[in-house]
Amino acid sequence: MKAHQIDHEFEIAQLFATGALHAFGPDADEHELDQVVQNLIMLQIPDRPLLPQQLASSGLLRLVGMAWESGWQPLDLVHIVRRHQGAGQTALVTAVIAEQARQERAVDRAPSDWVAQLQSLGIGARKAAPSSENTTEWLIGGWQFAHGVPMWDGWRDILRLFGQLHRLRPLTPLGPTPSRWDQARATATARRARRATNPTAPPGDPGEHDPRMLGKIRALLSKAEATTFTEEADAYTAKAQDLMTRYAIDEALLEESAGDGEVMTRRIHIHNPYAQAKVQLLSIVGDINRVRVIWDDHHGMANAVGMAVDLELVEMLFTSLLVQATRALTEAGNARPTQAGYRAGRMNRAPSFRRAFLLSYAHRIGERLEAAGARATAESSASHGAELVPVLARRAEEVDKTFARLFPQTREMRAKRVDARGWVAGRTAADRAVFATGQVEGS
C-alpha cells in the first residue's frame, strides 16, 4: 500500500473516531459533528474517491461482528438502535446486519433462531458481490439510494451509528456466537443422530415446536383479540386453552421420558412508553408458567428463562394480553370521567393514569391466571396421574438453577405510587380480558 493511501486511511479513521464521539453519547455536540461531516464530504482522494464509504462499511461490519461475539443478536441490535435513534440509523444497521450475514453465510451456518431473526428483518440469502471492495461500496451507497438519504444526512447517520455501536455493553449470550456456529452445528447434528435411535425422543432441536399447532393457537388468540363480542372471544380462548394445555403437557412428558428437556433463554424487547409497567405483565405471566423474567432497563429488554415450550406460550400469551391492554387503555383514555373536578377525557390520558392502568391490569391478570392455573393443575393431574407433578417440579427447579447461573445479581423492581383512578380502571379492564388458561401452572 502506498504511503499516501495509508495517510488518507489514517485521516479518515481519525474523522470517524471524532465524529462518533460527538454524534452519540454524553459528549454529543451537533456543531462538532457537522464539522466532521463537512471534512468528510470535502475530502478529495483522486485515485480512490469512495474510500470513506468503503472504510465506513468495513468499520460498521467489524463493530457488528464484535457485537455478535459480545452476546448481541440481530433483533437486539435493531431494537437498541430504534430505541435511541431514528429511522435512518435503523435502516442502516439493518443493511449492515444483512451484509454481515451474507459474509458469514449465516443462513447456512447459524442456529435456527438466528436465521428466524434475520428473516423477520427481511434478510435472507443474498448473491455474493463480485469483490469485497464492491461489497463495501454497495453497503453505504445502496442504503443511501434505497432510502433517498442525502450525503450530509447520510454521514450524520453513519457517525451516529458508529458512536452507538462503540458504546454497546456486552449482553448475556443466549446461544453460540458466530465464531462457534460450526461447532454448535456439529453438536446439533450429533444430538439429532442420538434422537433418531430413541423412539420416545421429541423431534427437532430444542426450541422447535409443531408449527401447525402453534399456528392454530396464534389464530385463535388473534381472533380473541379482534372480536368485540365477549361470547365469541370466550369460545376462541376456550379452544386455545384446550390446544395449549394438551400440547404443553405432551411436550413436557415426552421431554422428561427422553431425558431431553433443556432450559433456554429468550430476550423480549419492550417498547416505550410505560415499558416497566409492560414488563410487570410479562413477569406475572412468566411466574405462573415456570418462566423467570429479569428486566434490563438500560437496553429495554426482558430476559426470560424457561423450558422451550413454556417460553413460546408465555410470549404468545403476553403479546395477546398486551394487545388487549392497549386497546382497553385507549378506550379508558376516551372515556368521560364521572368524578367531580375532572375534565372530560383529559385525566384519563395523563401518563400517571396510563402507567397505573397497565400496572393494575397486570396484577389483576395475574390473579386470574393463578386461579385458572389451579383448575388446570387439578384437571391435568387427574388425566396424567401422579407422574405430572414431579415432572413440573423438576422443570421448575432446572429453570431456577439456570436463572441463578446466568443472572447471579438481581434486585426487585421498586413499586411506585400510582394514580388511584388508573389502578381501578386497569383492574376493571383486566376482568374483561380473555386469555388461554392452558398457559398456566399445570400446563
Cβ pair 23, 142 in contact under 8 A: no
> What separation in angstroms does the CA of 136 have from each of 40, 48, 178, 179?
17, 13, 20, 22
pLDDT tens digits for 395-439? Answer: 888 999 999 998 888 777 655 555 566 555 656 666 666 554 444
Written as nine digits, the cell of 363 is: 396484577
Residue from 300, 179, 306, 320 nearest 255 by CA: 306
At 442, the pLDDT band (50, 70, 90 cuts) reads very low
Of the candidates 340, 360, 278, 356, the residue with the CA atom closest to the CA atom of residue 348: 356
pLDDT for the residue 226? 83
In whole angstroms, what is the distance from residue 292 CA to residue 202 CA?
Answer: 24
User: pTM of whole model > 0.75?
Assistant: yes
Cβ-Cβ contacts under 8 Å for 204 (sequence gap 6 or more): none
State what percent of residues in the chain have pLDDT above 90.
38
What are 267's strand-pairing partners?
Answer: 303
Per the model's pLDDT, the better-predicted residue between 304 and 237 turns out to be 304
* Res 81: pLDDT: 97
Residues 6+ apart with CB under 8 A from 170: 70, 71
Q: What is the 3-state secondary structure (H, E, C) of the chain?
A: CCHHHHHHHHHHHHHHHHHHHHHCCCCCCHHHHHHHHHHHHHCCCCCCCCHHHHHHHHHHHHHHHHHHHCCCCHHHHHHHHHHHCCHHHHHHHHHHHHHHHHHHCHHHHCCHHHHHHHHHCCCCCCCCCCCHHHHHHHHHHHHHHHHCCCHHHHHHHHHHHHHHHHCCCCCCCCCCCHHHHHHHHHHHHHHHHHHHCCCCCCCCCCCCCCHHHHHHHHHHHHHHHHCCCHHHHHHHHHHHHHHHHHHHHHHHHHHHHHCCCCEEEEEEECCCCCHHHHHHHHHHHHHHCCCEEEEECCCCEEEEEEEHHHHHHHHHHHHHHHHHHHHHHHHHHHCCCCCCCCCCCCHHHCHHHHHHHHHHHHHHHHHHHHHHHHHHHHHHHHHHHHHHHHHHHHHHHHHHHHHHHHCCCCCCCCCCCCCHHHHHHHHHHHHHCCCCHHHCCCC
Extract the C-alpha cell encoding 371: 386461579
List the grid coordinates of 303.
430476559
pLDDT surpassing 90 at residue 153: yes
pLDDT in the model for residue 84:
94
**pLDDT per position as a tens digit, 206-230:** 445 677 888 888 888 888 788 766 5
Q: How far apart, in whole angstroms, are the C-alpha atoms of residue 255 and residue 442?
A: 16
- In sign, the C-alpha dihedral spanning 61, 174, 406, 279 is positive
Predicted confidence (pLDDT) at residue 303 exceeds the cutoff of 90: yes
Half-sphere exposure of 135 (CA within 13 A, CB side): 17
pLDDT, mean of residues 25-42: 96
Q: Give the model's pLDDT for residue 332.
A: 72
pLDDT the model gives residue 92: 97
Name the residue with higher pLDDT: 7 or 374: 7
Half-sphere exposure of 221 (CA within 13 A, CB side): 27
- Could you read off the pLDDT of 84-106 as tens digits, one per residue? 999 999 999 999 999 999 999 99
What is the per-residue pLDDT for 262? 82
CB neighbour class for 214 (10 Å; exposed up to 12, middle 13-18, buried from 19)? middle
For all residues of the chain together, what is the average pLDDT? 80
User: What is the crossing angle of helices 132-147 and 151-166, to 10°?
Assistant: 110
More confident residue, 124 or 177: 177
pLDDT for the residue 422: 59
Does the pLDDT at position 126 exceed 60? no
221: Cβ–Cβ under 8 A, 6 or more apart, which residues? 236, 237, 240, 316, 317, 320, 436
Q: How confident is the model at residue 61 (pLDDT cuts 50, 70, 90)?
A: very high
Residue 434 has what pLDDT?
57
Q: If you compute the radius of gyration of the chain from its CA atoms, what whole number of angstroms results?
A: 25
What tens digit of pLDDT does each residue of 231-285 get? 566 567 666 666 766 677 778 888 887 766 788 999 999 998 888 889 988 998 8
Q: Which residues, other chains included, contact 134 with Cβ-Cβ below 8 Å and sequence gap of 6+?
A: none
Q: What is the pLDDT of residues 318-376, one digit of tens each?
A: 888 888 778 777 777 666 555 444 444 455 667 878 888 888 888 877 777 777 666 76
Average the pLDDT over 179-202 and give the result: 71
Q: Are strands 292-296 and 301-307 parallel, antiparallel or unpaired?
A: antiparallel
pLDDT of residue 210: 73
What does the alpha-carbon distance between residue 378 and residue 275 come to, in Å, rounded to a whole number? 35
Question: Any idea which of 38-42, 68-72, 273-277, 295-299 has the lowest mean pLDDT?
Answer: 273-277
Supply 414's cell numbers.
421498586
